Amino acid sequence: MTSDPYSKEVRRLFKAPAHAGIANGPSARIDAQGVSVELSVEARNGQVEAARFRAKGCPHLVAAAEAFCADLEGQPVAALETQFGVDIMRRLSVPVEKTGRILVLEDTSALLAGKL
C-alpha cells in the first residue's frame, strides 16, 4: 500500500490556482533546482494589492506559490522579504527532499522585494 504524496491542500491549490498569471507591476524570475518561478505584484502605498505567479515544477511548488500569493495580498510590501519556506512546507506537508524547490520560491520573493 502506497500513500498519496500530495496532501488534500496541495491537490486543492494545484487544481485551481487562483493567483496564476502576471500582475500589473514588477516581477522577478528564477530558474534553478530544475524549476522555474516568476512572481509579480501590484503594490500601492506600501501594500500588496495583487500577487501572481507562474511556476514550472511539481504540484508542491505550484501549490506553495499559490498559497504564498494568496497570503501576500493585503500585506505590507516588506512581507516579500520574509523567510516563509518552512511554514509553507509544514502547512502543505511538503517532503524535505523538495526543500530546494521551495527555497527557489523564497529566493524569487526576495529578488522581487529588491525591485520595489
pTM: predicted TM-score of the whole model, two decimal places = 0.94
Q: What is the pLDDT of residues 13-51, one digit of tens each?
A: 999 999 999 999 999 999 999 999 999 999 999 999 999
Per CATH, the number for 8-113 is: 3.90.1010.10
Query: Which positions ≥6 away from 105 have C-beta within 8 Å?
Result: 37, 39, 55, 61, 64, 65, 68, 85, 88
Q: Binning pLDDT at 50, 70 and 90, where does residue 2 land?
A: low
Residue extents of the structural domains in the chain: 8-113
